[in-house]
């Protein structure tokens, strides 16, 4: 009986493996042609200045709808795009589209907002990355001071001298740099004094239940105070209600992003509901 059960467990296990393997293969196959087939769309989520409540920026977030797979979440397809290197052309499409959209909205007379673009480590390690950013920014005609590149702590695991000089050269293009998901990645903080960062985006896991959880309060309070001393701005991610907003305001956080302000919206909804004219 036990033998039989083990055999069944193994069968279930391998079926599960096969399913995941198959799904991953399908995603990879479909991702290869997703840019040409125009299957991607950018959603935009506002960031607000915590003191005034005014929208001060937006983050571009990638959405993918495929004819056979339907809507696939970035949490599922971004890691596959990174693993396969497909994130390089996809990331270039994201940067180009975000810059063009931001420029168009400025041309239409809306108050200018900085646009945050997520950059994967694979893109940063690409030897053509700097040139690509410079070209895309120039072609879009968007003033680079309205572009914020969001990188993650995974960049701290790579050869630091080369990474540092790359980040400085990005700054020379005129863009700003944010550390995304701050606090969840690399464990050493020494990179904070070496990298030319402008903003720390505190990961949403630390914001969750901040009004009740003493440990999260201690962590967020310390991050904010450290950031002030390092002359960095702080954005809290994943702010879901007024209580969390107020709590972060008392801690002198600079910017907030999250469902309390707005969910990510498609360009049309963002234009109609968030953008304001001068």
Residues that bind Mg ion (CB under 5 A): 118, 150, 180-181, 237
| Three-class SS of 181-194 | EECCCCCCCCHHHH
User: Among residues 2 and 208, whose Cβ is nearest to ligand C2E?
Assistant: 208
Q: Look up residue 238 and give its two tokens.
A: 């994943």
Torsion, Cα 147 152 156 162, to 10 degrees, reads -30
Q: Is 57 in the site for ligand C2E (CB under 6 A)?
A: no
CB closer to ligand C2E out of 182 and 191: 182
Total residues at the site for ligand C2E (CB under 6 A)? 24
- What is the nearest approach in angstroms of ligand C2E to the Cβ of residue 123? 7
Instruction: Locate 117 and state its tokens.
Output: 């673009």
Residue 1: both structure tokens together: 């009986």
Question: Rounded to the nearest whole angstrom, what is the least distance from the CB of residue 9 to Mg ion in the complex?
Answer: 34
The answer to whether 269 touches 46, Cβ cutoff 8 Å, is no
| Dihedral, 137, 138, 141, 147 alpha carbons, nearest 10 | 20
Residue closer to ligand C2E (CB basis): 239 or 248: 239
Helix residue ranges, H only, 126-261: 129-140, 160-173, 191-194, 204-207, 214-229, 242-250
Closest CA to 84 of 163, 29, 43: 29
CA angle, 43 then 235 then 211, to 5°: 105
List the single partner that 264 binds among Mg ion, ligand C2E, none, CB under 5 to 8 Å by kind: ligand C2E
The residues in 161-180 that bind ligand C2E, with binding defined as CB under 6 A, are 180
The entry of ligand C2E, Mg ion, none that residue 48 binds, CB within 5 to 8 Å by partner kind: none
| Residue 47 beta carbon to ligand C2E: minimum distance, rounded to whole angstroms | 10
Q: Which of the ranges 171-179, 209-217, 221-229, 251-259 carries the binding residues for ligand C2E, by CB under 6 A?
A: 251-259
Which of 10, 19, 168, 259 touches ligand C2E by CB under 6 A?
259
Binding part of the chain for ligand C2E, among 29-37, 100-108, 125-133, 253-261 by CB under 6 A, reads 253-261
Mark residues 7-36: x for contact with ligand C2E by CB under 6 A, - for none. ------------------------------
Q: Which of 138, 43, 148, 128 is nearest to 88 (CA)?
A: 128
Give helix 160-173 / helix 129-140 axis angle, nearest 10°: 10
Site for ligand C2E, residues 90 to 129, rule: CB under 6 A = 91, 94, 118, 120
Q: How many CA atoms lie within 13 A of 206 on its CB side?
A: 24
Other Cβ atoms within 10 Å of 68 Cβ, number = 7
CB nearer to ligand C2E: give 2 or 75: 75
Query: Among 5, 38, 71, 75, which residue interacts with ligand C2E (rule: CB under 6 A)?
Result: 75
**Nearest position to ligand C2E, beta carbon:** 258
Which chain residues interact with ligand C2E by CB under 6 A? 45, 61-62, 73-75, 78, 87, 91, 94, 118, 120, 150, 180-181, 204, 237-240, 257-259, 264
């Amino acid at each position: 009986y036990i033998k039989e059960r083990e055999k069944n467990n193994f069968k279930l296990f391998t079926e599960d493996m096969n399913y995941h393997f198959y799904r991953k293969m399908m995603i990879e196959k479909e991702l290869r042609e997703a840019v040409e087939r125009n299957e991607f769309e950018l959603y935009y989520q506002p960031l607000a200045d915590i003191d005034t409540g005014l929208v001060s920026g937006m983050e571009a977030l990638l959405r993918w709808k495929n004819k056979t797979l339907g809507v696939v979440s970035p949490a599922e397809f971004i890691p596959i795009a990174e693993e396969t290197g497909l994130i390089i052309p996809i990331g270039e499409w994201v940067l180009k589209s975000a810059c063009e959209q931001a420029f168009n909205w400025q041309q239409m007379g809306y108050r200018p907002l900085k646009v945050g673009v997520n950059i994967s480590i694979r893109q940063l390690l690409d030897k053509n990355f700097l040139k690509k950013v410079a070209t895309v920014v120039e072609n879009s005609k968007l003033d680079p001071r309205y572009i914020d590149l969001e990188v993650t702590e995974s960049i701290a695991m790579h050869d630091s001298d080369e990474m540092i000089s790359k980040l400085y050269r990005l700054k020379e293009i005129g863009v700003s740099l944010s550390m995304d998901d701050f606090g969840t990645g690399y464990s050493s903080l020494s990179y904070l004094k070496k990298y030319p960062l402008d903003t720390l985006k505190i990961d949403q896991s630390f914001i969750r239940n901040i009004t009740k959880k003493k440990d999260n309060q201690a962590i967020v309070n310390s991050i904010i105070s450290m950031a002030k001393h390092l002359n960095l701005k702080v954005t809290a991610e994943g702010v879901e209600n007024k209580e969390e907003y107020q709590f972060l305001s008392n801690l002198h956080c600079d910017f907030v992003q999250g469902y309390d302000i707005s969910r990510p919206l498609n360009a049309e909804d963002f234009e109609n509901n968030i953008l304001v004219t001068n």
